Structure 1
Amino acid sequence: MINRIHLIITAITLFVGIENPASAQSDHLLWYNKPAQFFEETMVLGNGKLGAAVFGGIKSDKIFLNDATLWSGEPVNPYMNPEAYKQIPSIREALKNENYKLANELNRKVQGAFSQSYAPLGTMHIKFNHTDSASMYRRELDISKSLSKITYNVSGVTFTREYFISKPARVMMIKLTSSKKGALSFNVDFESLLKFEITNQGNTLRVKGYAPYHAEPVYRGNIANSVKFDENRGTRFSSLFRIKNTDGQVIIQHGSIGLKNGTEAILYIAIETSFNGFDKNPATEGKSDALLADSCLKKVVPVNYESVKHAHINDYQNYFNRVSFNLGKTNAPELPTDERLKRYAEGKEDKNLEILYFQFGRYLLISSSRTAGVPANLQGIWNPYIRPPWSSNYTTNINLQENYWLAENTNLSELHEPLMKFIGHVAHTGKVTAKTFYGVEGWALCHNSDIWAMSNPVGGFGQGDPVWANWNMGGTWLSTHLWEHYIFTLDKNFLKQKAYPLMKGAARFCLNWLVKDKKGNLITSPSTSPEASFITADGSKGSTLYGGTADLAMIRECFLQTIRASQILGTDITFRKEVESALRQLQPYQVGKNGNLQEWYYDWDDADPKHRHQSHLFGLFPGHHITPGLTPELANACKKTLQIKGDETTGWSKGWRINLWARLLDGNHAYQMYRTLLSYVDPDQYKGPDKKTGGGTYPNLLDAHPPFQIDGNFGGAAAVAEMLVQSNENQIRLLPALPDAWDTGKIKGICARGGFEIEMEWQNKSVKKYTITQKKEERHNWSITE
């Protein structure tokens, strides 16, 4: 079948070339004519573990540094509330009696500790002795090379800085040059919100420190002892700063290192931590961070700078260059990126900005997701706060999952693997959570997690509102990523050895957790819909109920995929039949009085009809069991729900809604929301009189939830791919939701389920040429439609 499809493709090649863009406006460069004043204006760099946010100042360059493995805390005790499950019968009885207020209060007893926080490593300062003002300033980030550059002129001398973070070399490198011999002088120092000490050793500044063993979520307010340090506890880190000069004099002072009267120098930054796994104490069982950092420097310093840079670019482009995207001619003028966003927000055309945002999402994933078992968090790997927003953790009621929606379809499958391994970690602790909090087998993951694979419902043992604290479908949702990784790669070894056992464990939890309602249908009880509340017929507001639609949507998808995996592997027939039976008995979807897809068991009103979460639409996206073709009534109900919710929402929610509109095959609505996702938002701390707020995009293209959350970037990039190609286990659709604004274009390297890679070109919204290649031979009966 695969060879036959290829012959059909070859036979219909009718391409007429697309005109190259006449404008100089770039689809791969972010650039600015002034230094960053706020974090949301910085240029972010990363190698999947080490992260940096570069301000690019003239007299002093500030650089925030992070490491993906540096978190507060230590291995979690999953047995923190061993008898919580004993509350479940009482909650179910209260719900059976329709006493939602009592059920909600009892639900607080089914809570555990809060998650830990992603920590900021520290801030590096590079201070220069410029006495005159600068001119001809430009800073840029080239996402096609993962390379940042700053140039400016002071007193007739051109100064240049070039920054990158190498994955092969495991270091950050900054090359500093002046156009006049001996004009380069600078000093490097370091500060941190963590505990640390600085020593000097030759041309190296050595920082040794440790993270807190506990950090309270910032949303808990200004409470005493919110951040706790102990020199015998917590993750250790080592940061080394070394200068390699060609001339001038290296100056060593206590707590700093610098160069005097040089012309060119290279600054190396090596960072390592003692993190040694989710179940290892980082203080007593950790890696030797100092030795690891020393080893990095020892290997890279003797190597020619251009060689290291070349290896970095080759390594990065191995991922980035897999996808190219063009939307034809654009008339947008050449402007700095922040001004470009403002112009676009006025409704003006800038096709290359739309491409840039898509590719920037891919850039961010390559830069933040290359550490085994440590997926990108709420802020990727870029965080300057010791108590960051929402702990910069893994929020699993949408945010962690949305981070990886673009991994497979934008040809970055390997970058999905940190999440795959992390799922194995939380399944380990999640077995205890399933048993002690819910009294069932299998494994469960709830609202939040962290690097320690915490899986329990959060809330501080009763202090959290069940509207968000008690949701327990995180494992059910995450298990679908295992199937997605398989169906895009057709890696049967992965399915057999890694994915299916975890999928089976998630399905087992659901089987045991489901109970029958008064009609004989299977439902969950207790249930919540992520962060949303209902208003009952008597006008009371609540969040704990039974039979929430979101729960059942995720369970449906989990069951369907587990069944298919079992069939493909030819295993577990008895278990498969048990799942199939439960699937048939699930409470069916219901259409509400307003034509919307009902979120609650009863046709209650929403406390916030425009709420940012749309979890009950899971079956439409990212799930696959609601489609306009196969379930038109349910698809129309999803559409009505989206119409009621409207388009104005937070950044990540816009990313999700764009994907939902694309699945409804409404490309123009998806595109209009894509434009709103790119709405310019001022930095959080900016206090100007005309400050622009709301969900959208900051000057440096990072997503404004607000504040910064990276999931909107990833969701928006995934949605572009969803507008251009949609696929399932049996079919590939080309241009299913193409907006009128993208009537001409071409894309190469986008992926479809079944292990396919697609190249296509279109004009007047009609495909003129396409080639579909299967990367791995496997017998499937896919059909191709336009």
Structure 2
Amino acid sequence: MNPSLIKTFLILLFASYYTNISAQSKNVLWYDKPADFFEESLVLGNGKMGATVFGGANSDKIYLNDATLWSGEPVNTKMNPEAYKNIPEIREALKNENYKLAEELNKKIQGKNSESYAPLGTLEINNAEKGKAVNYHRELDISNAISKVSYEMAGIKYTREYFVSAPDQIMAIKLTADQKGALNFDINLKSLLQSNVEVRNNILVMTGSAPIHENAGYAVLPKYLEIKDRGTKFTTLVQIKKTDGQITSSRETLTLKDATEAIIYVSVATSFNGFDKNPATEGPDDVNIALQNLNKAFAKPFDKLKENHIADYQKFYNRVTLDLGKTTAPDLQTDERLLRYADGKEDKNLEILYFNYGRYLLISSSRTLGVPANLQGIWNPYLNPPWSSNYTMNINLEENYWLAENTNLSEMHLPLLSFIKNLSVTGKVTAKTFYGVNEGWAAAHNSDIWAMTNPVGQFGKEEPMWACWPIAGAWLSTHIWEHYIFTQDEAYLRKEGYPLMKGAAEFCLGWLVTDKNGNLITSPSTSPENQYKLSDGFVGATLYGGTADLAMIRECFDKTIKASKVLNIDADFRKKLETALAKLYPYQIGKKGNLQEWYFDWEDNDPKHRHQSQLFGLFPGDHITPLKTPDLAEASRKTLEIKGDETTGWSKGWRINLWARLWDGNRAYKMFRELLRYVDPDGKKTEKPRRGGGTYPNLFDAHPPFQIDGNFGGAAAVAEMLVQSNENEIRLLPALPDAWEQGSVKGICARGGFELEIIWNNKKPEKVIVSSKKGGKTTLIFGDKKQDITLKKDEKTEINF
């Protein structure tokens, strides 16, 4: 055969293979132009430092964040010391069915609003060459957490490579030109916060401080920014390492001329030193921390920094691999893939990419103890971010962590678990002063880095429907049990977890009262952010015995009982919980066949409301199941039917999990596809704007605006469709949609400390490998087939169904 023909054949073969690989990437987001909007940018993070990369050719903009930079200071837990004295009057109004009065009185049980997550600053790289970029390519490879930009201008090829390293606590940006001396750029820093920028010893230095009061107007109250010895301080340092060329500087700018290759190092630090320490007077030296990290990283070769970064990141990311079978989707950039997918076309690897991206975002935003991922993860460019970019604890904070354990990222759960410990400290005071409960701890609707636990509402100015809700502790305590049951870490449960669970349960015991029939209920109660409508036309939120309260308390009591049995402690307290659990007001099925949200069968003010808190027992709880409680499961299904499928991003993420728990894979998949519906960036002007819940061009979840919880909830739902488990059994492919008739998953986790690999075909498992972290027994279930297995520590077994 002609050698040139062989060569041509091999080139075509390689091109075809490469096109196939890149065509439906499971790990790469890519675009052929720079980002114009935040919702088109590519984000990087090491769990503390966040970077939002726009990738402009003439001018590149990078938003910088630090997970620990918030407004405010340690919370005054005794802000409303006699609020609890209003509780008897509210209960009396409710007893008399005077809901209008109860609604007004409930406003007296309010405190301050939360603080805000603050934007650290913006790094700009401005190129001296101004022209039209051609052959532009921008990407984020989530298999190694590296972003790249490449383009040509005036015949010169330029490349940039960006990553944010956890082991070296640094952001590194490598810039190259393929012609000698063609790199010419300057760098500047700016911040929306009070700050100062200057160049010292060829290091660009920005120092500043966050405001000390909540979001309610600090943008127009500059006097707050000038109070000394108050607020969190921050430092950003930028230094250039060059191979050639010349570095010069002005007062606020670093400049590199006539270079071929350069590396920019970015180091950030704050004076935050814990939720209960004044960051201005008790904080660490942020300048010194930033400088130490900069100097250590600067001394290392770029390739070594990159190698350290990739090794550290991949030890988490590579634990799970997912394949959903053959795909014929064409080679398109990510935003076009979303648009095509929204038209109903197949793109299985986009579905895998979305799942992988959820795991990427959690690794990148949740590695700082006591500081969990907030409403925007760690990526916020706004002085006044939506909902203060805070911790919203009536669903959103918890949804951020639904994928932590089952997608094998248990370490990323630790920032939330340690945050719960902080909440238990402030929450003890909140329980007494706001609710008159002297045992245990309570937390409410919102929190912030200072572990604020009081009900919000600006001391009576806000609506009880969202401001007055004291059950966050009960919900959060279930995360502690989840961490234990997945990891089997009994030492953690004994030392830290159980005391927190017990404290949450103690508050609930003290908060419950008896209704006229002898059932235990909560009073006052609300159902997160929802309202009822009475026959006389009154619309309100305050009632007694809300279903969501009792569902969360059921789950809290059940898991605390189990934890005390595992540890073989607290038999007397366990008995109290068991007695109370049996007396809780039971679930009610309404006239429409739905699971009632309210104590009575009242109408919803908004029947399609985004919250579905009354279904907590189905998911994320597990005391409602199609097998154990078929009537309640069917009522849950009816509730979801009434609400419909059209809702916001995070809510859609929750509903997909709920449908998965009802073992309806096709309905879950329908909504999963809708979650990936393309949404235009918030500021983009188009003739026919695509708005509503869905996914932005950079795969960020659209509430809208951007909230990261939908990304996490959607990724968790994929795992929930493939594997469901409890302490005693593992259910394989319980909600597998027809669209995923063949595939495989490796590294997914199940309760009991098990890890799974499943290969399936024709919607049936062909091979299942189960390994045990600590040793134990479980029952594998697929359809009507069951198999008991017992494994020793680190033992694995293969099962063929």
Same fold, TM-score > 0.5, yes or no: yes
Which residue of structure 2 aligns with residue 612 of structure 1?
A: 610
Aligned-residue offset at 1:208: 1.0
CA gap of 1:603–1:235, structure 2 versus 1, over 3 A, is same
Which of 308, 312, 320 aligns to 1:311? It is: 308
Q: Give the corresponding residue for 1:13.
A: none
Counterpart Cα distance in 2 of 1:683 and 1:24: 24
Letter aligned with residue 317 of structure 1:
Q
| Identity across matched positions, percent | 65
Mark the CA change 1:154 to 1:222 in structure 2 (over 3 Å): closer, same or farther.
closer
Paired residue secondary structure (1:258): strand
- Provide the rounded CA distance (Å) in 1 between the counterparts of 2:367 and 2:340: 35
What residue in structure 2 maps to residue 651 of structure 1? 649
Q: Distance in 2 between matches of 1:315 and 1:162?
A: 18
Q: How does 1:616-765 map to 2 (within 5 A)?
A: 616-765=614-763
Q: Structure 2 matches for 1:537-576, cutoff 5 A?
A: 537-576=535-574
Cα displacement (A) at 1:318: 0.4
CA deviations 1:390-435 (Å, max 9, x no partner) are 0000000000000000000000001000000000000000000000
Paired residue secondary structure (1:132) = coil
Of 245, 258, 273 in structure 1, the residue corresponding to residue 270 of structure 2 is: 273
Alignment of 1:383-402 (within 5 A): 383-402=380-399
Contact 2:113–2:214 (8 Å) recurs in 1? no
- Does 2:258 align with 1:252? no
Q: Does 1:136 align with 2:135?
A: yes
Name the CA shift for 1:21/1:770 in 2 (closer, same or farther; >3 Å).
farther
Amino acid at match of 1:496: R
Is the CA contact 1:71–1:117 (under 8 Å) kept in the aligned structure 2?
yes
2:576 pairs, out of 575, 578, 603, with 578
1:417 pairs with 2:414: yes
Quick check: 1:216–1:227 contact (8 Å CA) kept in 2?
A: no
CA distance in 2, matches of 1:573, 1:486: 20
Whether 2:104 is the aligned partner of 1:105: answer: yes
C-alpha distance in 2 between matches for 1:56 and 1:23: 21
What residue ranges of structure 1 are gaps of 5+ in the alignment?
A: 1-19
Amino acid at match of 1:56: G
Task: Name the SS of the counterpart of 2:207 in structure 1.
Answer: strand
Partner of 1:9 in structure 2?
none
Q: In angstroms, what is the RMSD of aligned CA positions? A: 1.3
Do the aligned residues in 1 keep the contact of 2:209 with 2:225 (CA within 8 Å)? no
| 1:91–1:103 Cα contact (<8 Å) kept | yes
Question: Aligned equivalents of 2:508 and 2:606: distance in 1?
Answer: 28
Matched letter for residue 345 of structure 2: K
- Which residue identity does 1:739 align to in structure 2? P
- Pairwise CA distance, 1:250: 0.5
- 1:595 paired residue number: 593
SS state at 1:51 partner: strand
Distance 2:44 2:227 in 1: 31
C-alpha distance in 2 between matches for 1:324 and 1:781: 23
Matched, 1:216 2:210: no
Q: Is the 8 A contact 1:357 1:701 kept in 2?
A: yes
Q: Structure 1 residues 128 and 662, CA, compared in 2 at 3 Å: closer, same or farther?
A: same
Decide whether the 8 Å contact of 2:80 with 2:434 is kept in 1: yes
Write the distance in 2 (CA, Å) between the matches of 1:728 and 1:504: 21
CA distance in 2, matches of 1:410, 1:619: 21
Closer, same or farther in 2 for the Cα pair 1:208/1:597, shift >3 Å?
same
Give the conservation status (yes or no) of the 8 Å contact 1:731–1:785: no
User: What residue is the counterpart of 1:375 in the other structure?
Assistant: 372
The residue that corresponds to 2:288 in the other structure is 291
Aligned residue for 1:431?
428
CA contact (8 A) 1:477 1:558 kept: yes
Equivalent pair of 2:752/2:778 in contact (CA under 8 Å): no
Alpha-carbon distance in 2 for matches of 1:313, 1:240: 23
1:534–1:542 CA contact under 8 A, matched in 2: yes
Q: For each residue in 1:519-545, what CA deviation from the matched residue of structure 2 results, as whole angstroms up to 9, or x when unmatched? A: 100000000000000012322111000
Aligned partners of 1:66 and 1:120 also within 8 Å: yes
What is the alpha-carbon distance in structure 2 between the residues aligned to residue 642 and residue 217 of structure 1?
36
Could you tell me which residue of structure 2 aligns to residue 465 of structure 1? 463
| Secondary structure of 1:407 counterpart | coil
CA deviation map 1:229-262 (0-9, x unaligned): 4243110011000000000001111101021010
**Residues of 2 paired with 1:209 and 1:180: CA distance?**
39
Letter of the aligned partner of 1:333 in structure 2? P
| Distance verdict in 2 for CA 1:227–1:468, change over 3 Å | farther
Alignment of 1:182-221 (within 5 A): 182-217=181-216
Q: Which moved more, 1:27-36 or 1:192-201?
A: 192-201
Which residues in structure 2 correspond to 1:227-266 (within 5 Å)?
228-266=225-263
Q: Which residue of 2 aligns with 1:50?
A: 49
Cα distance, 1:217 vs structure 2: 4.4
Q: Is this contact kept in 2: 1:445–1:475, CA < 8 A?
A: yes
Q: Output the amino acid matched with 2:543.
A: L
Q: Aligned to 1:406, what secondary structure does the other structure show? A: coil
Q: Which amino acid aligns with 2:689?
A: K
TM-score for both structures, normalised by structure 1:
0.96
CA shift for structure 1 position 785:
3.4
Q: Does the 8 Å contact 1:215/1:226 carry over to 2?
A: no
Distance 1:217 1:585 in 2: 42
1:86 pairs with 2:85: yes
Q: CA deviation at 1:223?
A: 7.3
Task: Label 1:209 to 1:692 Cα distance change in 2 as closer, same or farther (>3 A).
Answer: same
Q: Distance in 1 between matches of 2:538 and 2:267?
A: 57
Secondary structure, counterpart of 1:102 in structure 2: helix
Does residue 406 of structure 2 align to residue 406 of structure 1?
no
The one-letter code sitting in structure 2 at the alignment partner of 1:143 is I
Aligned to 1:123: 122
Higher relative contact order (CA 8 A, sep 6+): 1
Match of 2:404, SS? Answer: helix
Paired with 2:131 and 2:563, the residues of 1 have a C-alpha distance of: 67
Amino acid corresponding to residue 295 of structure 1 in structure 2: Q
Divergent runs of 4+, >4 A: 20-23, 221-229
Q: Is the 8 A contact 1:23 1:331 kept in 2?
A: no
CA distance in 2, matches of 1:458, 1:223: 22
CA contact under 8 A between 1:22 and 1:330: conserved in structure 2?
A: no
CA contact (8 A) 1:203 1:257 kept: yes
Compared with structure 1, are the counterparts of its residues 534 and 309 closer, same or farther at alpha carbon in structure 2 (3 Å cutoff)? Answer: same
Amino acid at match of 2:606: D
Contact 2:236 2:269 in 1 (8 A): yes
The SS at the match of 2:167 is coil
Give the superposition deviation at 1:295.
Answer: 0.5
Q: Could you tell me which amino acid in structure 2 is paired with residue 78 of structure 1?
A: T
Which amino acid in the other structure matches residue 355 of structure 2?
Answer: F
Contact preservation (8 Å) 1:51, 1:66 = yes
TM-score by length of 2: 0.94
Instruction: Give the deviation of 1:298 after TM superposition.
Output: 1.3
* Farther-moved stretch of structure 1 (230-239 vs 58-67): 230-239
The answer to whether the Cα contact below 8 Å between 1:374 and 1:418 also exists between their aligned partners in 2 is yes
Q: State whether residues 726 and 751 of structure 2, in contact with CA within 8 Å, keep that contact through their aligned partners in structure 1.
A: yes
Contact residue 219 and residue 384 of structure 2 kept, 8 A = no
Paired with 1:217 and 1:712, the residues of 2 have a C-alpha distance of: 26
Give 1:5's aligned residue.
none
CA distance in 1 between partners of 2:267 and 2:140 (Å): 21
Alpha carbons 1:213, 1:229 under 8 Å: kept: no
Q: What is the deviation of 1:228?
A: 4.6
Distance 2:100 2:56 in 1: 55
Letter in 1 for 2:177: S
Name the SS for the 1:539 alignment partner. coil
1:481 paired to 2:476: no
Kept after mapping to 2: 8 A contact 1:214/1:229: no
Amino acid at match of 2:384: R
Partner SS state of residue 238, structure 1: strand
- Matched position secondary structure for 1:408: coil
Contact 1:215/1:228 (<8 A) preserved:
no
Q: How big is the shift at 1:776?
A: 1.4
The answer to whether the aligner puts 1:33 opposite 2:32 as a matched pair is: yes
Are the counterparts in 1 of residues 52 and 63 from structure 2 also a CA contact under 8 Å? yes
In the TM superposition, what is the alpha-carbon distance from 1:132 to its structure 2 partner?
2.5
- Secondary structure of the residue aligned to 1:427 is helix
